[in-house]
Amino acid sequence: MSRDSGWHARRRRQPPWWPDNEPWPPRFGPGAWRYRRTRFERRVSLLFLVCVLLMFAGANAVVSWLLPGAAVGGPLRPLRQFVPLLWLVFVFAWLIPVMRRFRAPLGDIVEAADRVSEGDYSVRAREYGPHSMRAIARAFNSMTTKLQAQDLQRRHLMGDVAHELRTPLAVLQGRLEGMLDGVYPRDEAQINAVLQETRMLTRLVDDLRTLAHTESGTLALQKESTDIGILMHDAVAAFSAEAVERNVTLTVDAAPDLPLVEVDPLRIREVLTNLLSNALRHTPAGGRVVIAASSTSGSIEVKVSDTGSGIAAADVPKIFDRFYKGRSSGGSGLGLTIARNLVVAHGGDIHADSVEGKGTTISVRLPANG
């Protein structure tokens, strides 16, 4: 059987059914990484052969330079032929085991990288071979682990966003269709209800945009010297009417000697607004919400405490996750996530302490030097 009629020839030839506008052999798709690995190993072998030939030519030139009389004959002529040959044997004896040690681990990494390029983030490279190859495989596996986690997070985010957008859109559609069909009267009350849903939808979209900017690191902070005490009083003033309506005592306890900090006042006020909104929502009538600030060494700490229902110990680590909602939570589930990202963007940190049935305290620490 000739070579052209064998498996290699069939692999090289383009099938008659293959589209003319797509390359052959296929550069992507199932099994393409096997072809690319074979091609990679062939190129490495060719490079190895070229290096050996160059070494042989170099050895021959060195011998000719050291023994110029060997080129014209005489007793040194066999030495001129033997030394390059001996050098070639030595190079083969040394390089072939080295190439074998590196080729297989490197080929596995190339194969795994090709599969990642096709969207398979579950692939892992086997860590073996020389130390340098094991280090590369370990770094590659760390990268694919992070890519897999990010891909899973992205899929969950898309599902959560679709779920959160579906509710206000369904309400809007139902009310508008009801008014068109005559089920609901076309009066001011119905229009206000539709307007309220559009505001909720707008707020959700704004939250998603802020979340996307903070997580991608593209959020631009307009920092300036800011008095945290003033921001706290402004945030409390915005919720004073709601606190009176809920019969909840809302107070501010700011130390008089708070230093100015370099922060974006709009973003930090957004953080305080989210924390106060959550605290009021979970505090029953007759309860108390306190926002306090104190200065510590090199930082300012702001605490929002309430006497509400508290959070179960198992749920406390989850409250800053996207779209997480407790059993009695409302809203979009993005407020605390956005607050955390904004605080981290300022170089600070945020954490929660809660006792179920007694209340919750959210602590924000910001660097005093911004």
pLDDT in tens, 307-366: 888 888 888 888 887 776 665 555 567 778 888 889 998 889 999 888 888 889 999 999
Residue 242: predicted pLDDT: 87
Residue 68 pLDDT exceeds 70: no
Closest Cα partner for 264 from 224, 232, 235, 206? Answer: 224
- Picking from 185, 36, 179, the residue whose alpha carbon sits closest to that of residue 106 is 36
Beta-carbon contacts of residue 263 (< 8 Å; ≥ 6 apart): 221, 223, 224, 226, 346, 366, 370
pLDDT value at residue 7: 42
Tell me what the pLDDT averaged over the chain comes to. 77
Domain covering 153-216, topology: Helix Hairpins (1.10.287)
Single-letter amino acid, residue 204:
L
Predicted pLDDT of residue 6: 47
List all residues 6 or more positions away from 101 whose beta carbon is below 8 Å from its beta carbon.
129, 130, 133
Q: DSSP string spanning 251-263?
A: EEEE-TTPPPEEE
Helix (H, G, I), strand (E, B) or coil at 86: helix
Residue 14 is predicted with a pLDDT of 62
Question: In which residue ranges of the chain is CATH 3.30.565.10 found?
Answer: 224-367
Confidence of residue 3 (pLDDT cuts 50, 70, 90): very low
Gap between the terminal Cα atoms of the chain: 77
Question: What's CA 56's distance to the chain center, in Å?
Answer: 50
Contact 277, 239 (CB under 8 A): yes
Burial of 46 (0-12, 13-18, 19+ CB in 10 A): exposed
Give the pLDDT confidence of 77-86 residue by residue, as tens digits: 555 556 666 6
Banded pLDDT at 8 (limits 50, 70, 90): very low
Residue 27 has pLDDT above 60, yes or no: no
Confidence bin at 24 (pLDDT 50/70/90): low
Residue 90 has pLDDT above 60, yes or no: yes
Residue 71 has pLDDT above 60, yes or no: no
The backbone region for 341, taken as left when phi is positive above 0, alpha when psi lies in -120 to 50, beta otherwise, is: alpha
Q: Name the pTM for this structure.
A: 0.56
**CATH code assigned to 224-367:** 3.30.565.10
Q: 370 - beta bridge partners? A: none
Q: 106: Cβ–Cβ under 8 A, 6 or more apart, which residues?
A: 44, 133
Average pLDDT estimate for 104-116: 81
- Of residues 302 and 216, more confidence is placed in 302
Residues of the chain with CATH 1.10.287.130: 153-216
